[in-house]
Amino acid sequence: MKIVFATNNQNKINEVQAQLPKHITLLSLESIGCTEEIPETANTLEGNALQKALYVKQKYGYDCFADDTGLEVESLYGAPGVYSARYAGNQRNGEENIDKLLVKLDHKKNRNAQFKTVIALVFEEKEILFTGICQGEITTTRKGDKGFGYDAVFLPKGFSNTFAEMDLAQKNTIGHRGNAVRKLIAYFVQK
Ligand code: IMP
């Protein structure tokens, strides 16, 4: 079965492909000729994920799924949330986003946070949402050099390593996206 994962982020394609059963082949946006930027104008993770999946279905005709992820920090009332990619500005710079987050949390005792991934699947005329959460806390300094985004400052609950100190397999096992992807896979398996 061929299905489009509506993303241009190769890190995410690798993460998800590693967890998919062999009979499901992921097509990237590039491989279907979609090179334009897909609009993400909703103000929720659910809205953005669905907007992206519907865009590909309507314009290119493929069944597809799209994800949207946000880092929700308790003492910042859920920020940066849906705005995680652009937290420090439209340049979408991961390092600047972390710098801003660490400044906002300076001297804050409560550093609880969670990553939330929503996957929207548009498949056989149905629209289905899958949610994955990973709870943890924000460290005071960066640790590790793997991963991307906020990985270097996210310490998942019950672990002593940040996401950036873990290999991909371990991050997939405990992480938000892996969690949502397993729900997506379970949906295909029980069909
Ligand atoms: P996206 O909408 O799924 O691309 O995610 C939005 C932003 O959240 C990204 O630009 C990253 O800054 C951050 N993000 C998403 N997933 C992860 C992750 O697994 N680790 C660290 N940061 C992430």
pLDDT in tens, 116-125: 999 999 998 8
Mutate which of 142, 148, 172 for ligand 1? The one with the most ligand atoms within 8 Å of its CB, which is 148
> What angle in degrees, to the nearest 10, is found between the helix axes of 176-189 and 10-17?
50
Range of the domain at 117: 2-190
Question: CB of 124 within 8 A of CB of 61?
Answer: no
β-bridge pairing 80-81 and 25-27: unpaired
Q: Output the domain CATH number for residue 66.
A: 3.90.950.10
- Which residue owns the Cα nearest ligand 1 atom 23? 149
Q: Which of 85, 95, 89 is nearest to 142 (CA)?
A: 95
Top-confidence residue, 94 or 186: 94
pLDDT in tens, 144-178: 999 999 999 999 999 999 999 999 889 989 999 99
Can you give the pTM of this predicted structure?
0.92
Mutate which of 71, 73, 87, 176 for ligand 1? The one with the most ligand atoms within 8 Å of its CB, which is 71
Structural domain total, the chain: 1
Q: Which residues pair with 70 in a beta bridge?
A: 116
Q: What is the CA radius of gyration of the chain?
A: 16
Is 1's pLDDT higher than 80? yes
Contacts of 82 by beta carbon, 8 Å cutoff, 6+ apart:
42, 43, 44, 45, 48, 68, 70
Instruction: State the pLDDT at residue 19.
Output: 73
